[in-house]
Amino acid sequence: MNTPTHHDAIDLLCRIIEIPSMSGEEGGVADCLQAVLSDWGVQVQRMGNNVWAVNRFFDPKKENLLLNSHLDTVPAGKAWTRDPFKAVKEGDRLYGLGSNDAGGALVCLLFTFVSFFQREDLPCNLVFAGTAEEENSGPGGLASLLSHLPQTHTAIVGEPTEMNAALAERGLLVLEATTHGVAGHAARSGGDTAIDLAVDDLVTIRTLKFPKESSTLGPIKLSVNVIHAGKRHNVVPASCGYKIDVRLTDAMHADEVLSFLETNLNATLKVQSVRHCPPAMKPEHPLARSAAHSGAQLYISPTTSDRALIPVPTLKMAPGRSERSHTADEFILLSEIKNGLESYGVMLESYFQILKAQ
């Protein structure tokens, strides 16, 4: 089997871009990856829209390194000026929905796995997993697959980081908040309405300080990005609903955050989804040292990913830039894919050497 090149990775990314794969609808991309891996001689496992495989000389006595990224994209917004499902190269740029988040990561990790697939001397096993429903924190993605994979001891999660290595990231708690009032005619209503109570909550959320703060991740961050109430201008609605996006840290557990918010807000709160903040990987961990050897800067990420689901030492690291994610006319640089594939190779070779020396 020949070693895959960055041209193989770019060609696969172009194919993936042209297969719509919104969260929960990743079957076409999963089929594509399954076929590509099979063509490279890899025995592929499939669970729903998740695809995974292990190296040829898998040894159950060795620890396992998981290489994971996601197949799904967010929907294309109205601000797109080009066909989001058409892969277009212009100079060093490759345009298309999901090219940056996280197609580049996916193809680079896949072909990194393939390049080591037949090695008999690996000091650990490699497990590749292309997973679904990352963008909507759905139940059919990595959360459902982890228990079916060989035990994970260490992991790399592919999200655009400019090939720098995130030792830690925030968790995510999404809350459905509802304030309650009394419905009535606008001309006769009085007192605090459901909307008034929600407005008071929004003011509180802007200034609320939590009793604990992380030394590495800073304060817990709150934002309200969805709000809805009423249908007619002359009717006072009985309730007002809004959603709170809570970026968790290691300072407080999600249950503590929920209890604190319930004490300080008018609304009743219901948990829509939660991704806890796992412990940071220590800079002296062999994988972190190997990432630094490949040229990566070690840092703390402000964003949340499937890393939050993995309860073992994990790096978040991949080509692309986080700022391009979920933007109109999304793109990744062809040079970033080339560098990503090369850097992963250098990093894993260094990691294997450290493990062999231990």
Contact 99, 332 (CB under 8 A): yes
| Domain boundary, last residue among 222, 257, 275 | 275
- Distance between CA atoms of residues 357 and 300, nearest Å: 28
Mean pLDDT of the residues in the chain: 94
Q: Is the pLDDT of residue 73 over 60?
A: yes
Contact 56, 1 (CB under 8 A): no
Looking at residue 148, its pLDDT comes to 97
Q: Is the pLDDT of residue 221 over 60?
A: yes
- Whether residues 181 and 159 fall in one domain: no
- Distance between CA atoms of residues 145 and 254, nearest Å: 23
- Distance between CA atoms of residues 316 and 157, nearest Å: 5
Percent of the chain with pLDDT over 90: 85
How many domains are there within the chain? Answer: 2
- Whether residues 181 and 202 fall in one domain: yes
Residue 75, in any domain of the structure: yes
Q: Is the pLDDT of residue 59 over 70?
A: yes
pLDDT in tens, 86-127: 999 999 999 999 999 999 999 999 999 999 999 999 999 999
- Whether residues 158 and 296 fall in one domain: yes
- Whether residues 349 and 241 fall in one domain: no
Q: 334-357 vs 104-116: helix axis angle to the nearest 10?
A: 40
Q: Is the pLDDT of residue 185 over 80?
A: no
- Whether residues 199 and 322 fall in one domain: no
Measuring CA to CA, which residue among 222, 247, 343 is closest to residue 300? Answer: 247
| Domain boundary, last residue among 223, 251, 275 | 275
CA angle 305, 306, 310 (to 5 degrees): 130
Q: Is the pLDDT of residue 184 over 80?
A: no
- Return the DSSP state at 323: G
CATH code for position 255: 3.30.70.360
What is the H or E stretch that residue 47 is in?
A: strand 45-47
Split at pLDDT 50, 70, 90, the class of 137 is confident
CATH code for position 125: 3.40.630.10
| Domain boundary, last residue among 275, 291, 310 | 275
The dihedral over CA atoms of 258, 259, 263, 268, expressed in degrees to the nearest 10, equals: 50
- Whether residues 24 and 60 fall in one domain: yes
- Taking the CB of residue 340, how many other CB atoms lie within 10 A of it? 30
Range of 322's domain? 6-169+277-357
- Whether residues 178 and 156 fall in one domain: no
Looking at residue 333, its pLDDT comes to 98
- Whether residues 138 and 287 fall in one domain: yes
- Edge-to-edge, what's the strand order for the sheet holding 88-90? 88-90, 93-95, 331-333
- Whether residues 158 and 37 fall in one domain: yes
**Per mean pLDDT, which range of 9-18, 84-93, 165-174 is the poorest?**
165-174
Split at pLDDT 50, 70, 90, the class of 3 is confident
- Distance between CA atoms of residues 331 and 96, nearest Å: 6
Task: Tell me the mean pLDDT in the region 329-349.
Answer: 98
- Distance between CA atoms of residues 246 and 257, nearest Å: 9
Split at pLDDT 50, 70, 90, the class of 205 is very high
Q: Is the pLDDT of residue 263 over 90?
A: yes
Q: Is the pLDDT of residue 186 over 80?
A: no
Q: Would you state the structure tokens that stand for residue 222, as one six-digit string?
A: 């709150």
Looking at residue 275, its pLDDT comes to 81
Looking at residue 79, its pLDDT comes to 96
Sign, CA torsion 321/326/331/332: positive
Split at pLDDT 50, 70, 90, the class of 183 is confident
Residue 200, in any domain of the structure: yes
Residue 28, in any domain of the structure: yes
Looking at residue 290, its pLDDT comes to 97
Task: Tell me the mean pLDDT in the region 247-274.
Answer: 95
Residue 1, in any domain of the structure: no
Contact 77, 66 (CB under 8 A): no
pLDDT in tens, 295-320: 999 999 988 899 989 989 999 999 99
Looking at residue 44, its pLDDT comes to 98
Residue 147, in any domain of the structure: yes
Looking at residue 303, its pLDDT comes to 84
**Per mean pLDDT, which range of 46-55, 208-217, 239-248 is the poorest?**
208-217
Looking at residue 189, its pLDDT comes to 56
- Whether residues 110 and 185 fall in one domain: no
Task: Tell me the mean pLDDT in the region 229-252.
Answer: 92
- Whether residues 162 and 43 fall in one domain: yes
Residue 316, in any domain of the structure: yes
- Whether residues 144 and 284 fall in one domain: yes
Looking at residue 278, its pLDDT comes to 80
Question: Residue 155: exposed, middle, or buried by beta-carbon count in 10 A (0-12, 13-18, 19+)?
Answer: buried
E-state strands within 58-212: 64-70, 88-90, 93-95, 125-131, 154-157, 165-169, 171-180, 184-185
